[in-house]
């Protein structure tokens, strides 16, 4: 009976806080704004080219956080694990190819435009490459351009996916 009374008071308190505006609600509509298109024009063009060459068993997910693909492997301490996780959570890859049968990532794709030529971008790219490779996830980099040939895409993606009739996969 005491447990129910405490639970009831806790619920009453939480409802009262939410009603008073101190709970996890967003009342002011200018706190957030839409950021625009999910994909840049170059990313959208590449995405459309990917859809043309991939079989029905391969899915494409855009803008996936590294932390959704990999996690820190060793846990020296909680703070060290959190530090490493935060590095992953703040970075993404442009596209992830995944097996539609089980949702497992087959590989990652980065579309490199002129912004990847800076020193800072090179350091970020090297971190992504090393992190994904250490977790046995292949990453392929493509130069951003105005046209993507289907045969070139198939050839480049053959390390992740063997393009034939139907979804056949190579172990990565």
Of the spans 30-34, 84-88, 152-156, which averages the highest pLDDT?
Answer: 84-88
Given CA atoms 27, 31, 34, 38 in this order, what sign does their dihedral have?
negative
**pLDDT grade, residue 76 (50/70/90)?**
confident
Residue 3 has pLDDT above 80, yes or no: no
Cα distance between residue 89 and residue 37, in whole Å: 21
Predicted pLDDT at 164: 38
Residue whose token pair is 């490493």: 84
- Per the DSSP assignment, residues forming a β-bridge with 97 are 60, 107
State the helix-helix crossing angle for 150-157 and 41-53, rounded to 10 degrees. Answer: 80
Residues 91-150: pLDDT tens digits?
999 999 999 999 999 999 999 887 777 888 889 999 999 999 999 999 999 998 888 889
Q: Residue 134: what pLDDT?
A: 92
In angstroms, the CA 36 to CA 55 distance is: 30
Residue 18 pLDDT exceeds 70: no
Taking the C-alpha atoms of residue 15 and residue 128, their distance in angstroms, rounded to an integer, is 43
How many C-alpha atoms does 154 have within 13 Å on its Cβ side? 11
Instruction: Report the pLDDT averaged over residues 69-82.
Output: 88
Q: What are the Cα distances from residue 121, in Å, to 37, 113, 117?
A: 22, 11, 7
CB contact at 8 A, 112 and 101: no
Query: What pLDDT is stored for residue 165 in this prediction?
Result: 39
Enter the pTM of the model: 0.74
Q: Domains in the chain, please, with CATH?
A: 2-31 (no CATH), 41-169 (3.40.1350)
Q: What is the mean pLDDT of the chain?
A: 81
Phi, psi of 111 (to 5 degrees): -100, 110
Between 168 and 152, residue with greater pLDDT: 152
Kindly indicate the confidence band of residue 161, based on its pLDDT and cuts at 50, 70 and 90.
low
pLDDT band of 12, cuts 50, 70, 90: low
What is the distance of C-alpha 101 from the center of its chain? Answer: 19
Residue 87 three-state SS = helix
């Amino acid at each position: 009976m005491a447990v129910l009374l405490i639970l009831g008071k806790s619920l009453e308190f939480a409802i009262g806080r939410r009603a008073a505006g101190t709970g996890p609600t967003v009342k002011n509509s200018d706190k957030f704004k839409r950021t625009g298109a999910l994909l840049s024009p170059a990313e959208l063009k590449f995405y459309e080219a990917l859809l043309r060459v991939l079989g029905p068993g391969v899915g494409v997910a855009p803008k996936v956080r590294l932390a959704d693909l990999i996690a820190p492997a060793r846990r020296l301490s909680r703070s060290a694990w959190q530090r490493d996780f935060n590095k992953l959570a703040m970075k993404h890859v442009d596209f992830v190819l995944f097996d539609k049968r089980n949702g497992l990532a087959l590989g990652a794709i980065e579309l490199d435009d002129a912004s990847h030529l800076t020193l800072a971008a090179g350091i970020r790219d090297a971190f992504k490459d090393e992190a994904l490779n250490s977790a046995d996830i292949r990453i392929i980099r493509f130069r951003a351009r105005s046209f993507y040939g289907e045969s070139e895409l198939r050839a480049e993606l053959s390390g992740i996916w063997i393009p034939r009739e139907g979804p056949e996969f190579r172990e990565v």
